[in-house]
Structure formats: C-alpha cells, structure tokens
Amino acid sequence: MEKQFLIDDFKIGESWRLFKIMGEFVEGVEALHHIGPAVSIFGSARVKPDDPIYKKTETIAALFAKNNFAVITGGGGGVMEAANKGAAEAGGVSIGMNIVLPFEQKPNRFSNVKLEFKYFFIRKVMFIKYASAYIILPGGFGTMDELFEAVTLIQTHRIKPLPVVMVGSDFWSGLLEWIKSRLLAEKRISPEDIYILQVMDEPEEIVETVKKLLVI
C-alpha cells in the first residue's frame, strides 16, 4: 500500500508539472507576441567586457536596434550581456530570457524586458518562435546547441527558413570546413544544407544581410 501511495503521489507531481510548463509558455507568449521583428543573439557567457567579441556584440546589437529589430538573448553575462547592453543603449527593445541554473547564469542588468525560465526547452521555443534571424557569436556547448537546433529545424522544414549568421570567420572556419569535408563529403547532409549557414565578420554586413533576406 505504501509503495502504491508513493507511485500515485509521483503521478500527481508529474501532472502538476504540466501546469508549470504551460504557465511558462503562456508567460513567454504574453510577453513577446507584440515585439515585431527580432534577432536572437547567442555566444559565450564567459566573455569579459574587455574582450573584442564583447565589443563587437555590442555594436551588432546596437545596429539591429537602430534598424527596428528587438534583440533577444539568454539574459546572462558575456555575449548575452553585451547584446542586451548594445540594444538598450541604442534605445531598442532588449529582451533577456534567463534560465534558472545552480551556477554560471546570472541575469544581466541591461535587458528592459525580462523573463525567467525553469525549463530549457520552453526557453528554446521562445528563441525560435520570435526570431527573424539567429546571430551566433563564439561560444561553448550551449551556443553550439542553439546553432545546430536552428539548423536542424530549418533543414527539416519544421520552421520557416531564417538567416543563421556565424560571426567570426577565424572562430567558425574550422567547423565549417569539417562540415564540408565530413558531413557533406560523406553524404550525411545535402549540398543545399550548407547554405543555411553564413559566416560574416563585419557588423554592418550582418545587419544589411538580414534586412535584405527579410525584405525589411
């Protein structure tokens, strides 16, 4: 009887978790449905303010804000902080979607729209749902996860095609060459899949390319 009680209690707990999940979806949609065109910017949380990547991210975000794009980040430090700072200081909509973690992730102070998520997968839906483009700065596993999830969804036609711009040819060229020499050469992907990814260096070129592709 005691064992059955514990099983039933676990099932009730799982049911209530579904309501928490739905609640996070509702909060996200209510906060973001009106923002208009936006770009999601990703990159390392470990980048410091004196790093050239931080400065470049600020510039990119500010340019997008000046061109009437909202800027969405994961709400933490490093590249996320730089993007939120650049957008906010340019007078734009600066959205930080923080994730509750036991380490590393703390909300930055530069987002003027703040959301907090417990579940990674809900947060990732929001990144995709409201982004007109993905801008990927150098980063670690989390950045790679966001990059390849977007590419996979575009490749499999689960979402509409959107620009995926990898910023920094020095950082990304090795990965792109590996994709061509291994995945493409061994027919793990189709030739057209390569064109989902674009590598750029200059902030102005990035913004103009996104605008041109989106006809904004």
List, for residues 65-92, the tens digit of each pLDDT value.
999 999 999 999 999 999 999 999 999 9
For residue 72, is it within any domain?
yes
Q: Quick one: average pLDDT of 1-18?
A: 58
Residue 185 lies in a domain: yes
Number of domains comprising the chain:
1
Is residue 143 in some structural domain?
yes
| 157 part of a folded domain | yes
Determine the Cα–Cα distance for residues 51 and 68; give it in Å rounded to an integer: 27
Looking at the predicted structure, is the pLDDT value of residue 5 above 50?
Answer: no
* 102: confidence class by pLDDT, cuts 50, 70, 90: low
158 Cβ neighbours under 8 A, 6+ residues apart: 152
**pLDDT tens digits, one per residue of 29-65:** 999 999 999 999 999 999 999 999 999 999 999 999 9
Query: Reduced to 3 states, what is the DSSP secondary structure of residue 134?
Result: strand
22 found inside a domain: no
Query: What pLDDT, on the 0 to 100 scale, is given for residue 6?
Result: 42
Residue 215 — very low, low, confident or very high, per pLDDT cuts 50/70/90? low
Is 13 contained in some domain? no
Question: Is residue 136 one of the residues assigned to a domain?
Answer: yes
Helix 141-155, helix 120-129: angle, nearest 10: 50
User: What confidence tier does 2 reach under pLDDT thresholds 50, 70, 90?
Assistant: very low
**Structure token pair of residue 123:** 């947060």
Task: Give the CATH number of the domain where residue 109 resides.
Answer: 3.40.50.450
What residue numbers bound the domain in which 149 lies? 37-214
Residue 3 has pLDDT above 70, yes or no: no
Nearest to 146 by CA among 115, 125, 171: 125
The model's pLDDT over 198-212, given as tens digits with 9 standing for 90+, comes to 999 999 999 999 999
CA distance 183 to 195: 14
- H or E element: which one contains 189? none
Q: What pLDDT score does 169 carry? A: 97
Higher pLDDT, 162 or 5: 162
What is the DSSP track for 42-111?
Answer: E--TT--TTSHHHHHHHHHHHHHHHTT-EEEE-SSSTHHHHHHHHHHHTT--EEEEEE--SSS----S--
Phi-psi label, residue 179: left if phi above 0, alpha if psi -120 to 50, beta otherwise:
alpha
**pLDDT for 103 beyond 80:** no
Task: Please check whether residue 50 lies inside any domain of the structure.
Answer: yes
Instruction: Mention every residue, 6+ apart, whose C-beta is less than 8 A from residue 68.
Output: 36, 37, 92, 216
pLDDT at residue number 126: 95
Look at residue 213 and tell me whether its pLDDT is greater than 50: yes
Residue 153's CB is within 10 A of a number of other CB atoms, namely 15
Q: What is the pLDDT of residues 113-166, one digit of tens each?
A: 999 998 999 999 999 999 999 999 999 999 999 999 999 999 999 998 999 999
In the three-class reduction of DSSP (H, G, I as helix; E, B as strand; rest coil), residue 117 is classed as: strand
Copy the structure tokens of residue 18.
């579904």
